[in-house]
Protein backbone atom coordinates (compact mmCIF):
# COMPACT_ATOMS: atom_id res chain seq x y z
CA UNK A 1 0.00 0.00 0.00
CA UNK A 2 1.35 3.42 -0.94
CA UNK A 3 1.33 6.41 1.39
CA UNK A 4 -2.14 7.57 2.35
CA UNK A 5 -3.94 10.24 4.38
CA UNK A 6 -6.82 9.15 6.64
CA UNK A 7 -9.11 12.01 7.69
CA UNK A 8 -11.90 11.81 10.25
CA UNK A 9 -14.56 13.98 11.88
CA UNK A 10 -15.30 13.03 15.49
CA UNK A 11 -18.44 13.45 17.63
CA UNK A 12 -20.83 13.36 14.70
CA UNK A 13 -24.47 13.65 15.74
CA UNK A 14 -27.42 16.04 15.91
CA UNK A 15 -25.92 17.95 18.85
CA UNK A 16 -23.18 19.33 16.60
CA UNK A 17 -24.95 19.39 13.25
CA UNK A 18 -23.80 22.88 12.24
CA UNK A 19 -20.19 22.22 13.23
CA UNK A 20 -20.11 18.85 11.46
CA UNK A 21 -21.52 20.44 8.30
CA UNK A 22 -18.76 23.07 8.43
CA UNK A 23 -16.00 20.49 8.90
CA UNK A 24 -17.41 18.21 6.19
CA UNK A 25 -17.47 21.13 3.76
CA UNK A 26 -13.89 22.09 4.66
CA UNK A 27 -12.50 18.57 4.33
CA UNK A 28 -14.44 17.88 1.15
CA UNK A 29 -13.08 21.05 -0.43
CA UNK A 30 -9.47 20.24 0.43
CA UNK A 31 -9.57 16.50 -0.23
CA UNK A 32 -11.61 16.63 -3.41
CA UNK A 33 -14.85 15.15 -2.11
CA UNK A 34 -16.20 13.12 0.82
CA UNK A 35 -12.94 11.21 1.29
CA UNK A 36 -13.04 11.04 5.07
CA UNK A 37 -14.60 9.12 7.94
CA UNK A 38 -17.24 10.17 10.45
CA UNK A 39 -17.32 8.96 14.07
CA UNK A 40 -20.96 8.83 15.12
CA UNK A 41 -22.26 9.17 18.70
CA UNK A 42 -25.66 7.62 19.43
CA UNK A 43 -26.77 10.04 22.17
CA UNK A 44 -24.14 12.63 23.05
CA UNK A 45 -24.19 13.22 26.82
CA UNK A 46 -27.80 11.90 26.85
CA UNK A 47 -28.84 15.19 25.25
CA UNK A 48 -29.02 14.44 21.51
CA UNK A 49 -30.52 11.02 20.69
CA UNK A 50 -29.73 10.09 17.11
CA UNK A 51 -32.63 7.63 17.10
CA UNK A 52 -35.06 10.56 17.28
CA UNK A 53 -33.29 12.84 14.79
CA UNK A 54 -34.78 11.75 11.47
CA UNK A 55 -33.38 14.67 9.48
CA UNK A 56 -29.84 14.02 10.72
CA UNK A 57 -30.28 10.30 10.00
CA UNK A 58 -31.03 11.24 6.40
CA UNK A 59 -27.79 13.26 6.30
CA UNK A 60 -25.82 10.27 7.59
CA UNK A 61 -27.33 8.02 4.92
CA UNK A 62 -26.49 10.58 2.24
CA UNK A 63 -22.89 10.93 3.43
CA UNK A 64 -22.52 7.15 3.68
CA UNK A 65 -23.96 6.65 0.18
CA UNK A 66 -21.40 9.20 -1.08
CA UNK A 67 -18.54 7.12 0.36
CA UNK A 68 -17.98 8.49 3.87
CA UNK A 69 -16.95 5.70 6.26
CA UNK A 70 -19.09 5.57 9.40
CA UNK A 71 -17.55 4.48 12.70
CA UNK A 72 -19.38 3.83 15.96
CA UNK A 73 -18.01 6.33 18.47
CA UNK A 74 -19.52 5.16 21.73
CA UNK A 75 -23.06 5.65 22.94
CA UNK A 76 -23.04 8.63 25.33
CA UNK A 77 -19.40 9.77 24.89
CA UNK A 78 -19.54 10.81 28.56
CA UNK A 79 -17.47 9.06 31.24
CA UNK A 80 -19.35 8.52 34.51
CA UNK A 81 -16.90 6.10 36.13
CA UNK A 82 -14.74 7.04 39.13
CA UNK A 83 -11.21 6.00 38.19
CA UNK A 84 -8.07 5.09 40.11
CA UNK A 85 -4.39 4.83 39.24
CA UNK A 86 -3.32 5.23 35.62
CA UNK A 87 -6.93 5.42 34.45
CA UNK A 88 -7.51 8.38 36.75
CA UNK A 89 -4.57 10.22 35.14
CA UNK A 90 -5.90 9.51 31.64
CA UNK A 91 -9.41 10.60 32.56
CA UNK A 92 -8.15 13.87 34.02
CA UNK A 93 -5.42 14.87 31.60
CA UNK A 94 -6.25 13.22 28.25
CA UNK A 95 -9.91 14.25 28.09
CA UNK A 96 -12.53 16.33 29.90
CA UNK A 97 -14.95 13.67 31.10
CA UNK A 98 -15.31 12.22 27.59
CA UNK A 99 -13.61 8.81 27.92
CA UNK A 100 -16.80 6.73 28.02
CA UNK A 101 -15.09 3.35 27.50
CA UNK A 102 -12.16 3.85 29.86
CA UNK A 103 -13.79 2.32 32.93
CA UNK A 104 -16.62 0.12 31.62
CA UNK A 105 -16.88 -3.59 32.38
CA UNK A 106 -16.62 -5.99 29.46
CA UNK A 107 -20.37 -6.67 29.67
CA UNK A 108 -21.38 -3.01 29.62
CA UNK A 109 -18.84 -2.13 26.93
CA UNK A 110 -20.08 -4.97 24.73
CA UNK A 111 -23.71 -3.87 25.17
CA UNK A 112 -22.99 -0.27 24.19
CA UNK A 113 -20.90 -1.36 21.22
CA UNK A 114 -23.65 -3.70 19.99
CA UNK A 115 -26.39 -1.11 20.48
CA UNK A 116 -24.40 1.58 18.68
CA UNK A 117 -23.54 -0.79 15.84
CA UNK A 118 -27.18 -1.82 15.38
CA UNK A 119 -28.45 1.77 15.42
CA UNK A 120 -25.93 3.18 12.97
CA UNK A 121 -26.04 0.23 10.59
CA UNK A 122 -29.84 0.44 10.49
CA UNK A 123 -29.57 4.14 9.60
CA UNK A 124 -26.93 3.86 6.87
CA UNK A 125 -28.01 0.49 5.48
CA UNK A 126 -24.53 -1.05 5.48
CA UNK A 127 -21.93 -2.31 8.00
CA UNK A 128 -20.18 0.25 10.17
CA UNK A 129 -16.51 0.68 9.30
CA UNK A 130 -15.41 -0.02 12.86
CA UNK A 131 -15.38 1.23 16.43
CA UNK A 132 -13.33 4.09 17.88
CA UNK A 133 -13.73 4.85 21.57
CA UNK A 134 -14.41 8.44 22.65
CA UNK A 135 -11.11 10.25 23.29
CA UNK A 136 -9.40 7.10 21.92
CA UNK A 137 -9.43 5.70 25.48
CA UNK A 138 -10.04 1.98 26.12
CA UNK A 139 -10.10 0.22 29.46
CA UNK A 140 -9.54 -3.51 29.91
CA UNK A 141 -13.27 -4.19 29.62
CA UNK A 142 -13.55 -2.32 26.32
CA UNK A 143 -10.52 -4.08 24.85
CA UNK A 144 -11.95 -7.46 25.80
CA UNK A 145 -15.37 -6.59 24.39
CA UNK A 146 -13.86 -5.47 21.10
CA UNK A 147 -12.49 -8.93 20.38
CA UNK A 148 -16.00 -10.35 19.93
CA UNK A 149 -17.76 -7.19 18.78
CA UNK A 150 -17.85 -7.93 15.07
CA UNK A 151 -16.12 -4.66 14.20
CA UNK A 152 -13.55 -4.88 11.42
CA UNK A 153 -11.39 -1.98 12.69
CA UNK A 154 -10.49 -0.08 15.84
CA UNK A 155 -8.22 2.90 16.46
CA UNK A 156 -6.44 4.63 19.34
CA UNK A 157 -3.96 7.51 19.54
CA UNK A 158 -1.10 5.48 18.09
CA UNK A 159 -2.47 2.64 15.95
CA UNK A 160 -5.24 1.11 13.87
CA UNK A 161 -5.87 -2.60 14.40
CA UNK A 162 -8.20 -5.53 13.75
CA UNK A 163 -10.06 -6.30 17.00
CA UNK A 164 -10.53 -10.01 16.38
CA UNK A 165 -6.95 -10.88 15.47
CA UNK A 166 -5.15 -8.01 17.18
CA UNK A 167 -3.17 -7.38 14.00
CA UNK A 168 -1.86 -3.80 13.83
CA UNK A 169 -2.58 -2.24 10.44
CA UNK A 170 -1.07 1.23 10.91
CA UNK A 171 1.14 2.96 13.46
CA UNK A 172 1.94 6.56 14.29
CA UNK A 173 0.41 9.42 16.27
CA UNK A 174 -2.90 10.87 15.19
CA UNK A 175 -2.80 14.61 14.53
CA UNK A 176 -5.63 16.38 16.31
CA UNK A 177 -6.45 19.67 17.99
CA UNK A 178 -7.75 20.66 21.44
CA UNK A 179 -9.99 23.67 21.92
CA UNK A 180 -10.88 23.60 25.64
CA UNK A 181 -8.11 25.92 26.85
CA UNK A 182 -5.66 28.45 25.41
CA UNK A 183 -2.74 26.27 26.43
CA UNK A 184 -4.14 23.20 24.69
CA UNK A 185 -4.95 25.23 21.60
CA UNK A 186 -1.37 26.46 21.40
CA UNK A 187 0.18 23.04 22.07
CA UNK A 188 -2.00 21.27 19.51
CA UNK A 189 -1.22 23.91 16.88
CA UNK A 190 2.49 23.53 17.69
CA UNK A 191 2.34 19.75 17.31
CA UNK A 192 0.41 20.02 14.04
CA UNK A 193 3.04 22.39 12.71
CA UNK A 194 5.81 19.95 13.57
CA UNK A 195 3.85 17.02 12.18
CA UNK A 196 3.40 18.71 8.82
CA UNK A 197 7.13 18.32 8.29
CA UNK A 198 8.02 15.32 10.43
CA UNK A 199 5.38 12.75 9.50
CA UNK A 200 5.69 12.71 5.72
CA UNK A 201 7.76 9.53 5.94
CA UNK A 202 4.84 7.69 7.59
CA UNK A 203 3.00 5.26 5.33
CA UNK A 204 -0.30 6.20 6.97
CA UNK A 205 -0.98 9.68 8.36
CA UNK A 206 -4.17 10.15 10.41
CA UNK A 207 -5.71 13.57 10.99
CA UNK A 208 -8.81 14.02 13.16
CA UNK A 209 -11.00 17.06 13.76
CA UNK A 210 -13.72 17.80 16.34
CA UNK A 211 -16.77 20.10 16.41
CA UNK A 212 -15.11 22.31 19.03
CA UNK A 213 -12.34 23.15 16.59
CA UNK A 214 -14.78 25.31 14.62
CA UNK A 215 -15.07 27.76 17.54
CA UNK A 216 -11.41 28.82 17.28
CA UNK A 217 -10.33 30.48 14.00
CA UNK A 218 -6.66 29.75 14.67
CA UNK A 219 -7.43 26.03 14.91
CA UNK A 220 -9.40 26.09 11.66
CA UNK A 221 -6.39 27.75 10.03
CA UNK A 222 -4.05 25.10 11.40
CA UNK A 223 -6.42 22.34 10.23
CA UNK A 224 -6.51 23.85 6.74
CA UNK A 225 -2.70 24.09 6.56
CA UNK A 226 -2.24 20.55 7.87
CA UNK A 227 -4.64 18.87 5.47
CA UNK A 228 -3.25 20.83 2.53
CA UNK A 229 0.33 19.90 3.42
CA UNK A 230 -0.41 16.18 3.44
CA UNK A 231 -2.95 16.16 0.61
CA UNK A 232 -0.38 17.75 -1.67
CA UNK A 233 1.86 14.70 -1.33
CA UNK A 234 -0.51 11.75 -0.80
CA UNK A 235 -4.12 10.86 -1.61
CA UNK A 236 -6.90 10.77 0.96
CA UNK A 237 -7.87 7.15 1.44
CA UNK A 238 -10.20 4.90 3.39
CA UNK A 239 -9.64 3.07 6.64
CA UNK A 240 -11.12 -0.02 5.03
CA UNK A 241 -8.25 -0.13 2.54
CA UNK A 242 -5.94 -1.03 5.43
CA UNK A 243 -7.66 -4.40 5.81
CA UNK A 244 -5.87 -7.37 4.23
CA UNK A 245 -7.46 -8.71 1.06
CA UNK A 246 -8.74 -12.25 1.53
CATH number at residue 195: 3.20.20.370
93 falls in which pLDDT band (50, 70, 90)? very low
pLDDT at residue 79, rounded to an integer: 58
Stretch 144-169: mean pLDDT, rounded?
Answer: 96
Q: Which residue has the higher pLDDT, 185 or 97?
A: 185
Higher local confidence (pLDDT), 1 or 86? 1
| Residue range of the domain that includes 166 | 4-242
Q: How many domains does the chain have?
A: 1
37 to 63, 131, 132: CA distances (angstroms): 10, 12, 11
221/98 Cα distance (integer angstroms): 25
pLDDT band for 46, please (50, 70, 90 cuts). confident
pTM exceeds 0.75: yes
Residue-level pLDDT at 81: 53
Terminal CA-CA length for the chain: 15
Indicate the DSSP class of residue 75.
S
Amino acid sequence: MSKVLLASIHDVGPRFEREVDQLADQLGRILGGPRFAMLVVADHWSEAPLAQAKAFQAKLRSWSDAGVEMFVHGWFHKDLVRHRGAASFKAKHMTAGEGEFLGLSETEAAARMADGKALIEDIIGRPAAGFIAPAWLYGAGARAALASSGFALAEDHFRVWQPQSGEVLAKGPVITWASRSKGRQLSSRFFAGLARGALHSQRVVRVAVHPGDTTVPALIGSIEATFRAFAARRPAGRYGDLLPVN
